[in-house]
Amino acid sequence: MDPVTAAYLTESIYFTSRLTMSVKTVIVTAPINIALTKYWGKEDEFNIYPLNNSISLTLSQDQVRPFDHLYFIEKLMTTTKITTGPHLTKSSFSLNGILQKEIPSRTKDVIILCLLRARLSNRCPVYRHVYIESTNNFPTAAGLASSASGMAALAFGLAKLYELDSDITEIARRGSGSSCRSMKGGIVQWIRCPLNETQEQLTRKSFAKQLYPCTFWPELRVAICVTSAAMKPVGSTLAMQRTVHTSSLFAHGRISSVQINEEKLLLALKNKDFSSLGTVIMKESNQLHALCLDAWPPCVYLNEFSLALIRWVHGINKYFGRLLVAYTFDAGPNCFLIAEAKDMPVLQHLLVASFGSVGPDTNPAGDDMVTVDADGSRR
Ligand code: ADP
Ligand code: DP6
Ligand code: CO
C-alpha cells in the first residue's frame, strides 16, 4: 500500500487460535469522502459502472473532528472487524451492533469477489465463511457517505484477511460505487472507463486513482453541518436509478454538464483557485438536487436547515465580496462546507451567530448543527 493510503486506512490483524493459526481476525477503519463532482447514475447496475467520472475529497481521519450534541466523534469513519476460520458454519453480518437477518446482496458480491481472488492467489488458507461486524461512528444512510466508508472498510478488511495485494478499488466499487474513492487519500477520481469496441466486458476496468495527495492543498478545510441524523427517505441506489429512468433533465444534459464541471474542477485544482473550486462544487451539488427533484416520484433530500445553509453561504460570500465558503450536499440533507483555513474562524463565528451554538460542550440537545475541521488541515 502506498504511504498516503496507509494514513487513511488502518488495520490490525491477529490470530485467536494461536496453535493452528486458523482463526484469523482483522480490524480495519476507512474514512468517508465527499464528492465534489457527483456520481449519480449507473451504466451497468450489476458491475457498478458509472455513467460519469466523479472526483472527491477523502476526509482524513486524523484531521476531521465533528461535534454532536450527544457525543464527540473524533473521526467520521467505519470500523469493521472480520473473523474467519474453520469454526464458522455460515457467514453473517452485523451493522452498528445489529445482526442482519440477511447479508445484503452487494455486500455478498464483495465477499465472493475477495474470496475468489484469495483462492486464485493461494497465499493463505481460505475458509468459506466470515463474520463481519461493522460500525459507523456517524449517522448511517443520512447522506454522510456511510456506504462509501462501509464498503471501503469491508473490501480493505477482506483484502487484509486474505492477503490480497491487487487493486481492490474495483471490488469496493461493487459494494457501493462511491466507496472506491474512500480507498485513496487526498483528491481522488473514480474513472468511469467506457467500454470501447475492441474491449471485452471482462477486461473492462473502472477504478479510483489519487489525483493529488492530501498535502497538495493544505489550506482546504471542511465543516460538516448535520441538519438531520435520520435515515434518508430513499437510498442512493434506488434514487439514482429513478433519476436515470424518469428525469428528463438527466436525459437532456446531465452527462455533458458533469463532464464540463469535471474539466472546470480539474483546472481549479491545478491552479488552487478556491473561487472557481467553490463555484463548480456548489453548482454540482445544486444540479444533483435538481435532478433528484425532477425524478418521479421526486426524491427530496434537502430540509429547511439545508436550504437555510445554502442561503447563508451565498449571503456570506456576497457580504465579503468574494467566494470564501462553498457548500456541497450528497444525497441527504447534511451539509459539507468547504473553505480555506484562514477563513474558518470567522465562518465558525458566523455559523454560531446565525444558527446557534456549535461544538461538543456548547451545542444544546435538539440543535443538530455540528462542525468539523477538514481534510487537508495539515498542522
Ligand atoms: P449514505 O449516504 O450514508 O452513503 P446510502 O443510501 O448510499 O447512504 O447507503 C446506505 C446503505 O449503505 C445502508 O443502508 C447499508 O446498506 C450500507 N452501509 C452503511 N454503512 C455500512 C457499513 N458500515 N458496512 C456495510 N454497509 C454499510
Ligand atoms: C450523491 O455510492 O451511495 O453521494 O453505488 O448505489 O451504492 P451506490 O451509490 P452511492 O452513491 C453516492 C452518490 C452521491 C454522490 C457521490 O458520492 O459521488
Ligand atoms: Co452512499
Closest ligand 1 atom number to CA of residue 143: 2
pLDDT recorded at residue 100 = 97
pLDDT recorded at residue 222 = 87
Rounded distance from Cα 236 to ligand 2 centre (Å): 6
- Pick the ligand that lies closest to the CA of residue 56: 2
Q: Which residues contact 229 (CB under 8 A, 6 or more apart)?
A: 139, 142, 368
Q: List, edge to edge, every strand of the sheet that includes 208-212.
A: 33-37, 54-58, 187-190, 208-212
Please, are residues 292 and 306 in contact by the beta-carbon 8 Å criterion?
no
Rounded distance from Cα 248 to ligand 2 centre (Å): 20
Rounded distance from Cα 50 to ligand 3 centre (Å): 14
Pocket of ligand 2, candidates 330, 334, 335, 336: which has the most ligand atoms within 8 Å of its Cβ, to mutate?
330
Tens digit of pLDDT at every position of the chain (379 positions)? 444 444 567 778 777 765 566 899 999 999 999 999 999 999 999 999 999 999 999 987 544 433 332 233 447 899 999 999 999 999 999 999 999 999 999 999 999 999 999 999 887 888 999 999 999 999 999 999 999 999 999 999 999 999 998 889 999 999 999 999 999 999 999 999 877 766 666 678 899 999 999 889 988 888 888 889 999 999 999 999 999 999 999 999 999 999 999 999 999 999 999 999 999 999 999 999 999 999 999 999 999 999 999 999 999 999 999 999 999 999 999 999 999 989 988 998 898 888 875 544 433 333 333 333 333 222 2
Rounded distance from Cα 294 to ligand 2 centre (Å): 18
Please, are residues 10 and 156 in contact by the beta-carbon 8 Å criterion?
no
Please, are residues 80 and 27 in contact by the beta-carbon 8 Å criterion?
yes
pLDDT recorded at residue 198 = 64
Pocket of ligand 2, candidates 178, 179, 244: which has the most ligand atoms within 8 Å of its Cβ, to mutate?
178
SS3 string, the chain, reads CCHHHHHHCEEEEEECCCCCCCCEEEEEEEECEEEEECCCCEEECCCCEECCCEEEEECCCCCCCCECCCCECCCCEEEEEEEECCCCCCCEEEECCEECCCCCHHHHHHHHHHHHHHHHHCCCCCCCCEEEEEEECCCCCCCCCHHHHHHHHHHHHHHHHCCCCCCCHHHHHHHCHHHHHHHCCCEEEECCCCCCCCCCHHHCCCCEEEEECCCCCCCEEEEEECCCCCCCCCCHHHHHHHHHHHCHHHHHHHHHHHHHHHHHHHHHHHCCCHHHHHHHHHHHHHHHHHHHHHCCCCCCCCCHHHHHHHHHHHHHHHHHCCCCEEEEECCCCCEEEEEEHHHHHHHHHHHHHHHCCCCCCCCCCCCCCCCCCCCCCCC
Q: Is the CB of 104 under 6 A from ligand 1?
A: yes
Rounded distance from Cα 361 to ligand 2 centre (Å): 33
Q: Is the CB of 37 under 6 A from ligand 1?
A: no
Q: Is the CB of 330 under 6 A from ligand 1?
A: yes
Q: What is the pTM of this model?
A: 0.90
Closest ligand 2 atom number to CA of residue 145: 4
Q: Is the CB of 85 under 6 A from ligand 1?
A: no
pLDDT recorded at residue 367 = 34
Q: Whose CA is nearest to atom 3 of ligand 1?
A: 141
Q: Is the CB of 334 under 6 A from ligand 1?
A: no
pLDDT recorded at residue 18 = 56
Q: Whose CA is nearest to atom 8 of ligand 1?
A: 141
Q: Cell 476507512, residue?
A: 30
Bond into 360 cis (ω within 30): no
Pocket of ligand 1, candidates 40, 137, 146: which has the most ligand atoms within 8 Å of its Cβ, to mutate?
146
Q: Whose CA is nearest to atom 23 of ligand 1?
A: 150
Rounded distance from Cα 365 to ligand 2 centre (Å): 30
Closest ligand 1 atom number to CA of residue 145: 4
pLDDT recorded at residue 154 = 97
- Paired sense of beta strands 24-31 and 130-136, if any: unpaired
